[in-house]
Amino acid sequence: MTQQSQNQQIDMASARDLPPEQAAFFYLGPSKQVAEGAVFLSSFANVTAFTGDDGVLLIDTSQERFTGRMLQDLRDNYSKAPVEAVVYTHGHVDHVTGADTIIAAAAERGDRRPRIIGHRDVAPRFDRYRLTAAHNDHINTIQFNLPPATKPFTNAALTYPDVTYDQGMETRIAGMTFEFHHARGETDDETWVWCPDNRVLCTGDTFVWCSPNAGNPYKVQRYARDWADALEKMAAKKPLHLLPGHGPAISDEGTIEEALLSTAHLLRSVHDQVVAGMNGGKWLEDIIRDMDWPATDKPWLQPIYDHPEFVARNVYRLYGGWWNGDAADMLPAHSHDVAAVLVGATGAAPILDRARKAREDGDLQIACHLVDFVRKGEPDNKEAWELWRDLFTERTAEERSLMARGAFKAAVREAEAKLQQLG
């Protein structure tokens, strides 16, 4: 596969086979000027350009493979002024890896090197990415259903900030005033940007067109309560234009307020219920079972990427330990050893029969748990692997959350590989 064709395949991987309602999150629309001196450059991770007579401020860079076309759009249609600075809203690779391209383009034009501005915790994040690059490559192939050879972290171009701040920073760039506000939400190094001159709010991924990514089961800690706090602070600014990290811009004050505050409500509701359960002596699985889940009926709250249940699990992880409350799981036996003993005691056939009955009854969750015992206890049981494949094929077709779909598709691929090996 050529590099170009591989990139095209990667470009489409996240959007592949998605239900129609996921289109907003993966929206790739035309660029547009949303206010005087503010240009929204839609991309896989959006970029905002604040354009003055003598300079440009870029909010994020998009992912490296999209940065060149973003710059071309900016130069052809909006501004030929030098890029004075780039602000990272956070250190995720889809938002920052185009910095080298921007710096190289400035050098080619004979412009001064743009400053790179970010929160002080961006650098430790980049250090961690370098330390765990292979791990992050692996889990991203699962989360986003990417080709196995994809290495988004090993190959990431990470340009560290030149200018950092702690809680907040105010400056003038390109003839406009900007406020940079730190928040913890999807990451611990977030920056949201407020331009009072034209009432433009750049949220980064603190607002995207789906249920907030506050529970990602593949990644490090998220911060639901802090995230809600940040959204409420944004709403208090009364923005006229909201430019998100993903998805289309919003240019209506009432809609923006509703979008920010309803997202904050979802996060705060999940957070507070989990904490109340913990203070009531409940373990995680009982908290999940007893949750009164907030509504996700708004177009920007659809659980199409993350999922509210994942958020609840992440809140528990923030305040609690890894133990699930079951004494058998404190210094436990390996799950494959437990499964081998169980299957040895009962035989595989009755467990698989019960799994098929659960499937017929529409209980795919229980069916998967039952088959899991057999595929682990009898690793060469072809029947078990066939049923495992079929169950997760069904669950993939029904599931809206991209993160869950990634895990389900990985289970199907594992089963297909095992069945090929068994012949």
44 and 130 both lie in a single domain? yes
235 and 212 both lie in a single domain? yes
Domain holding 367: CATH number? 1.25.40.880
Neighbours of 319 (CB within 10 A): 11
Domain that holds residue 14: 3-265
Residue 301 pLDDT class (50, 70, 90 cuts): very high
Q: Sign of the C-alpha dihedral, residues 274, 279, 284, 286? A: negative
165 and 276 both lie in a single domain? no
Domain holding 101: CATH number? 3.60.15.30
Question: Could you please report the per-residue DSSP string of 87-108?
Answer: E-SS--HHHHTTHHHHHHHHHH
Helix axes 382-398, 364-377, angle to 10 degrees: 150
102 and 69 Cβ atoms separated by less than 8 Å: no
Over residues 343-355, the mean pLDDT reads 98
pLDDT at 242 over 60: yes
Q: Which two tokens stand for residue 139?
A: 């889990």
298 and 231 both lie in a single domain? no
Strands 200-208 and 241-246: parallel
381 and 415 Cβ atoms separated by less than 8 Å: no
339 and 379 Cβ atoms separated by less than 8 Å: no
93 and 31 both lie in a single domain? yes
pLDDT at 362 over 90: yes
Residue 18 pLDDT class (50, 70, 90 cuts): very low
163 and 34 both lie in a single domain? yes
Neighbours of 350 (CB within 10 A): 11
| Residue 26 within a domain | yes
pLDDT at 15 over 60: no
Dist CA 190 CA 256 (whole Å):
20
Dist CA 180 CA 189 (whole Å):
12
Least confident of 19-28, 349-358, 394-403: 19-28
Alpha-carbon distance values, 268 to 217, 225, 275, 294, 419 (Å): 19, 6, 10, 10, 45
Residue 24 pLDDT class (50, 70, 90 cuts): low
pLDDT at position 20:
46
| Residue 324 within a domain | no
Residue 61 pLDDT class (50, 70, 90 cuts): very high
380 and 405 both lie in a single domain? yes
151 and 281 both lie in a single domain? no
pLDDT at position 5:
28
SS3 assignment for 185-245 = CCCCCEEEEEECCCCEEEEEEEEECCCCCCCCCCCCCCCHHHHHHHHHHHHHCCCCEEEEE
423 and 416 Cβ atoms separated by less than 8 Å: no
Helix axes 402-422, 133-143, angle to 10 degrees: 90
149 and 270 both lie in a single domain? no
Dist CA 233 CA 185 (whole Å):
13
| Residue 327 within a domain | no
Percent of the chain with pLDDT over 70: 94
Prediction pTM value: 0.91
pLDDT at position 145:
87
pLDDT at 90 over 70: yes
Residue 66 pLDDT class (50, 70, 90 cuts): very high
Model confidence pLDDT, tens digit, residues 305-332: 999 999 999 999 999 999 999 999 999 9
Least confident of 145-159, 199-213, 283-297, 351-365: 145-159
| Residue 328 within a domain | no
| Residue 288 within a domain | yes
28 and 89 both lie in a single domain? yes
Over residues 172-187, the mean pLDDT reads 96
Neighbours of 177 (CB within 10 A): 12
pLDDT at position 26:
61
Q: Which two tokens stand for residue 282?
A: 């409940």
pLDDT at 187 over 70: yes
| Residue 325 within a domain | no
Model confidence pLDDT, tens digit, residues 250-277: 999 999 999 999 999 999 999 999 999 9
399 and 296 both lie in a single domain? no
pLDDT at position 125:
98
Residue 53 pLDDT class (50, 70, 90 cuts): confident
pLDDT at 7 over 50: no
8 and 60 both lie in a single domain? yes
Percent of the chain with pLDDT over 90: 90
> Where a domain ends, among 265, 286, 305?
265
Report the length, in residues, of the chain. Answer: 423
Provide the number of structural domains found in the chain: 3
| Residue 370 within a domain | yes
Residue type, 132: T
Dist CA 144 CA 123 (whole Å):
25
Query: Between 318 and 4, whose confidence is greater?
Result: 318
Over residues 77-86, the mean pLDDT reads 97
Element (H, E) at 176: strand 176-183
Alpha-carbon distance values, 261 to 104, 154, 169, 188 (Å): 40, 37, 24, 21
pLDDT at position 421:
96
Model confidence pLDDT, tens digit, residues 97-138: 999 999 999 999 999 999 999 999 999 999 999 999 999 999
- Indicate the Cα dihedral angle 207, 211, 215, 218, nearest 10°: -90
pLDDT at position 334:
97
| Residue 99 within a domain | yes
What average pLDDT does the chain have? 93
203 and 161 Cβ atoms separated by less than 8 Å: no
Collapsing DSSP to helix, strand or coil, 112 comes out as coil
